[in-house]
Structures are given as structure tokens and as C-alpha cells.
Amino acid sequence: MATAKHTKTPATTESAPREKPSAAEQEILEQKSDVRRTIIECRQELRPSARSTKSREICNKLLDQLRASGIKGKNGQPPTLAVYAALRYEVDLDRFIRGAYAYGYRIVFPCMIPNAAQGAMCMRSVSCNNYLGGNVPFIVDPRKPWGPAVTEEHQTYTSTRAGATRRFIPSRIKGSVPPKDDTRFPVVPPSEIDLVIVPAVAFDAQGNRLGYGRGTYDRYLPQLREDCQLLGVAFVEQEVDRVPCDEHDRKVPQFITA
């Protein structure tokens, strides 16, 4: 396993405002960067067949845990599960997502928020038919902000360069989202989410998690109910002796691995 040097000196979390870090904070950031680079390279070295097999095993474990969890929905809603759309080399949750739809759960996906701080996200509900259709914009490209465009700056930022291809064109105004498309994938408040599947770049046995450095989940997880369940997913190759962290980083109680 990769080993990361740990310090108890408090440091700025990944989601903190961008200010010049102190020497101690810079040390933590450099440690995170080193671990992140090492584990991403390790994950990329996995054969595609191995990633596929491991992802399937993780999904089966998640489905078993879901059946045994006894999760119940709130306010007349079915239980709500927050998942994610896998980037290349990440654990692919497709098998689990399809199973959860079959059990009648409401599924929500992360959606980056336009015109907000870097890494700010919400969760949007996606129906089974829309998921299977393969044209949900924030599933096709999870890293790209999507939602109502209210400023010219955002319209410019989200415009596509000449000659480029784009799988989803929301309207004639570049970067905007028509109301009918916005309401097709309604935003679900954190208070209605019962279980969150959390991706990771690296993790350790103490439940510390390392992401891609944008602080997206560090900002979102504190908004959830206290009884909302968190499950991390990762390949065993992503476990390290210790993830460098500070007091603001959020732990994930359990990781499902293969």
C-alpha cells in the first residue's frame, strides 16, 4: 500500500477559500497531492477486465447491504439513494444503480452548479427511463456544470468551441437550460437523502478519504441529515496506510471494496 506522511497540524480543507497557505497547510496539500498522484497511477494500471470484475463485485456487495439496511423514505417518498456517474478508471456503479431502480428506490446524481463556487454541487433526481436512455447531461459529463444559466459569463464559459462535438445541447442559447429540462431532473434537498455512495481517490482504515482536490463532497456531506448513511466505494488498490487530512475533512464510516 502507498504510505502518506501524517501531521497533526491543522490545515486548510480542500473546500476552504483559496488563500495563500501557511507552511503547515502547504505541507498537507503536498502530501495529498503525492498520495493522489500515486493512487491514480496505481488505479490506471488495473486491466479493464479487472476493473469490470471488481466493480461488479462491489455492486453486488452494495445490493446485499441495501437489502439488509432497512432504509425507509421520508415524507411519503421512497428511500432516496445518492450515487455517482463514474469517470474513467473509477468504480462503475451501473449494476448497483439498475438494481436499486428495480427495487423502487429514488436515485439522485451529483450535478455541478453553474455560477457557484468551484466544486459546488447539488443532487438531481433521474428516472430509470432517463438513466437507461443515456442522455442525462450531468451523467454524460459529471464534471461539467449544468442548470439554469443566469449570467452571460456562464453562457460564455459553457459554450462549445467551433468544430467540437457535444452530446447534449440544452437550448439555442449556449449554456442555458430550458425550464422543462431543469424540472425533468428536479433538485432533491439533502434532507431527503437516505444513503450516499461516496467515491474516493484514496482511503484508509480509519475512514479518511481523499478526493480529487476540489472539496466537492467535503462541502456537501455536512448538509445531510445525521441519520443519512454513508458508504465509500473503491478498489482495494486505493487503500493507503494513512490519508493526510485535517479537522475539516469528512470521514466515511465504511468502504466497500474489491
Span 128-166, pLDDT tens digits: 999 999 999 999 999 999 988 544 444 444 333 333 333
Confidence of residue 1 (pLDDT cuts 50, 70, 90): very low
Q: The domain spanning residue 123 has which CATH number?
A: 3.40.50.10420
Average pLDDT over residues 31-38: 93
pLDDT at 99 over 70: yes
Q: Domain range for residue 229?
A: 23-159+168-257
Which of 64-68, 73-77, 181-185, 244-248 has the highest mean predicted lDDT (pLDDT)?
A: 64-68
Give me 217's grid cell. 463532497
Pairing of strands 195-199, 80-82: parallel
In angstroms, rounded to a whole number, what is the distance separating the alpha carbons of residues 88 and 70? Answer: 32
In angstroms, rounded to a whole number, what is the distance separating the alpha carbons of residues 4 and 39? Answer: 11
Average pLDDT over residues 239-256: 90
Confidence of residue 10 (pLDDT cuts 50, 70, 90): very low
- Which candidate, 184, 21, 214, 235, places its Cα nearest to that of 112? 214
DSSP-assigned letter for residue 190: G
Q: Is 3 domain-assigned?
A: no
Q: Is 18 domain-assigned?
A: no
Question: Would you give the distance in Å from CA 94 to the centre of its chain?
Answer: 14
pTM value?
Answer: 0.80
What's the total number of domains in the chain? 1
